């Protein structure tokens, strides 16, 4: 049995602030345990990657206490911020960094230089890291997120029930989403599931803007949901919408596709990769340019007024559903990377 030490953000299991990165980390730790690894977790305090003295000191203590030659998997939000902490330990520990979101700065480049292997969550992010830093290509690997099997969402005839699952933060583009929705003078309703506390000022501005557009009764900001409550939100949706300005992959996209729900999203970074194609080559959704509410609104009008388009995209989404892989595959891919790390 192989021992693995995993360094995680302190909010890894906080239901009040769910995130794709935290869910990925938790599922991978569980999956590796199932595969026979002895996984020892260390949750480090701090608002990573905005490192504090407390967080830096805590990470220093964790790494210093590990035995020589220990195999260590570090969440990239932590590792990429503190190359000065990793450097003194790189000679005696086998450091592997899991990059969810490339920071693309000098600190990250230095930190990844100390890693014996890097795991990314999409092909897009792998190419981005190789383009940005002088990393050996055979040291950077991909383990895309898995997705759980789910029941098909029944869908409605008019396709008017929209769902967005994302924390209400500037990068997720809720302000653009509200602006786009205000341009669509057709029947629709939209449920926005996601934390309102990560950037409360921004969340308040978005809700205020929805009210100014007269959409307060059509856009429901539901806050974070997990488990059965999140499943129910997906089950009630006709179309998944995401106006993000940047996604390394987009786990929520494959979660929608796992239920046969088509997607309207921005064509940024790893989102087209997550959306993918059905076996017949069709795209199970609509992609529009980022930061262009008018284009987003136009695509939504096409969906709402085009029964043939809705039928075609639903069929493609249901076919794409059959190509998705589970979390066991993700854990196996990471296990293969870890197995190849020399002592």
Q: For residue 238, what pLDDT is reported?
A: 98
Give the confidence band of 12 by pLDDT, cuts at 50, 70, 90.
confident
Q: Please give the average per-residue pLDDT across 111-122, as a whole number.
A: 97
Distance separating alpha carbons of residues 157 and 75, to the nearest angstrom: 43
Range 235-271 burial, b when 16+ CB lie within 10 A, else e: bebbbbbbbbebbbbbbbbbbbbbbbbbbbbbebbbb
288 and 214 together in one domain = yes
191 and 291 together in one domain = yes
317 and 330 together in one domain = no
Residue 173 has pLDDT above 70, yes or no: yes
Q: Pick from 259, 306, 311: which is nearest to 282 by CA?
A: 311
Residues whose CB falls within 8 Å of the CB of residue 253, separated by 6 or more in sequence, listed in order:
240, 242, 263, 265, 271, 274, 275
* Residue 304 within any structural domain of the chain: yes
206 and 98 together in one domain = no
Q: Please give the average per-residue pLDDT across 161-183, as a whole number.
A: 97
Q: For residue 47, what pLDDT is reported?
A: 84
Which residues form the domain of 267? 161-321
Give the confidence band of 141 by pLDDT, cuts at 50, 70, 90.
very high
* Residue 151 within any structural domain of the chain: no
Q: For residue 19, what pLDDT is reported?
A: 79
* Residue 286 within any structural domain of the chain: yes
Q: Please give the average per-residue pLDDT across 264-285, as a whole number.
A: 97
* Residue 156 within any structural domain of the chain: no
Pairing of the two strands 71-75 and 94-99: parallel
* Residue 49 within any structural domain of the chain: yes
Task: Say how many C-beta atoms besides its own lie within 10 A of residue 21's C-beta.
Answer: 22
Annotate 209-230 with three-state secondary structure.
HHHHCCCCCCEEEEECCCHHHH
94 strand-pairing partners? 71
What confidence tens digit (pLDDT) does each residue in 312-338 have? 999 999 999 999 999 999 999 999 999
316 and 173 together in one domain = yes
* Residue 152 within any structural domain of the chain: no
* Residue 200 within any structural domain of the chain: yes
118 and 255 together in one domain = no
Q: For residue 123, what pLDDT is reported?
A: 97
Residue 17 has pLDDT above 80, yes or no: no
Residue 15 has pLDDT above 90, yes or no: no
Average pLDDT of the chain is 95
194 and 252 together in one domain = yes
Tokens describing residue 269: 């970074």
Residue 18 has pLDDT above 80, yes or no: no
Q: Would residue 294 be called left, alpha or beta, if left means φ above 0 and alpha means ψ between -120 and 50 degrees?
A: alpha
What confidence tens digit (pLDDT) does each residue in 26-68 have? 999 999 999 999 999 999 998 888 888 888 999 999 999 999 9
Give the confidence band of 140 by pLDDT, cuts at 50, 70, 90.
very high
Q: Please give the average per-residue pLDDT across 271-292, as a whole number.
A: 97
Q: What is the DSSP letter of 50?
A: B
Residue 208 has pLDDT above 70, yes or no: yes
Distance separating alpha carbons of residues 324 and 56, to the nearest angstrom: 38
* Residue 126 within any structural domain of the chain: yes
Q: What are phi and psi of 56, to 5 degrees?
A: -60, -45
137 and 220 together in one domain = no
Q: Please give the average per-residue pLDDT across 206-228, as a whole number.
A: 96
Give the confidence band of 11 by pLDDT, cuts at 50, 70, 90.
confident
Domain count, the chain: 2
What confidence tens digit (pLDDT) does each residue in 59-116 have? 999 999 999 999 999 999 999 999 999 999 999 999 999 999 999 999 999 999 999 9
332 and 317 together in one domain = no
Contact 40, 46 (CB under 8 A): no
Query: CATH number of the domain that 62 lies in?
Result: 3.40.50.2000
- Three-point CA angle 28, 245, 288, nearest 5°: 110
Q: For residue 95, what pLDDT is reported?
A: 98
What confidence tens digit (pLDDT) does each residue in 231-259 have? 999 999 999 999 999 899 999 999 999 99
100 and 177 together in one domain = no
Q: For residue 1, what pLDDT is reported?
A: 54
Q: For residue 204, what pLDDT is reported?
A: 97
Q: For residue 151, what pLDDT is reported?
A: 96
Q: What are phi and psi of 138, to 5 degrees?
A: -75, 0
251 and 329 together in one domain = no
137 and 200 together in one domain = no
Q: Among 6-10, 52-56, 76-80, 155-159, name the one with the lowest average pLDDT.
A: 52-56
């Amino acid at each position: 049995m192989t021992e693995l030490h995993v360094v995680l953000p302190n909010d890894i299991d906080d239901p009040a602030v769910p995130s794709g990165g935290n869910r990925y980390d938790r599922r991978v730790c569980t999956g590796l345990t199932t595969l026979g690894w002895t996984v020892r977790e260390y949750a480090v305090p701090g608002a990573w990657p905005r490192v504090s003295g407390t967080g830096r000191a805590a990470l220093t203590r964790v790494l210093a206490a590990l035995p020589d030659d220990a195999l260590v998997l570090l969440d990239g939000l932590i590792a990429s911020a503190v190359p000065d902490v990793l450097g003194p330990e790189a000679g005696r520990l086998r450091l592997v960094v899991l990059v969810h979101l490339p920071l693309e700065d000098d600190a990250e480049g230095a930190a990844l230089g100390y890693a014996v292997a890097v795991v990314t969550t999409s092909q897009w992010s792998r190419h981005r890291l190789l383009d940005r830093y002088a990393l050996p290509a055979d040291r950077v690997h991909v383990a895309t997120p898995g997705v759980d099997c789910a029941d098909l969402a029944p869908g409605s005839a008019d396709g008017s029930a929209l769902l967005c699952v994302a924390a209400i933060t500037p990068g997720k583009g809720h302000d653009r989403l509200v602006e786009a929705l205000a341009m669509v003078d057709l029947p629709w309703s939209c449920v926005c599931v996601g934390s309102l506390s990560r950037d409360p000022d921004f969340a308040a501005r978005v809700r205020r803007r929805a009210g100014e557009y007269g959409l307060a009764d059509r856009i429901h900001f539901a806050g974070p949901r997990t488990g059965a409550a999140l499943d129910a939100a997906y089950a009630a949706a006709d179309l998944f919408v995401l106006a993000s300005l940047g996604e390394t992959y987009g786990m929520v996209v494959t979660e929608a596709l796992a239920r046969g729900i088509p997607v309207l999203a921005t064509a940024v970074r790893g989102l087209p990769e997550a959306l993918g194609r059905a076996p017949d080559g069709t795209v199970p959704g609509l992609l529009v340019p980022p930061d262009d509410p008018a284009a987003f609104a136009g695509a939504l009008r096409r969906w709402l007024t085009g029964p043939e388009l809705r039928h075609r995209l639903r069929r493609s989404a249901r076919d794409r559903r059959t190509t998705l892989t589970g979390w066991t595959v993700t854990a196996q891919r990471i296990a293969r990377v870890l197995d190849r790390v020399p002592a």
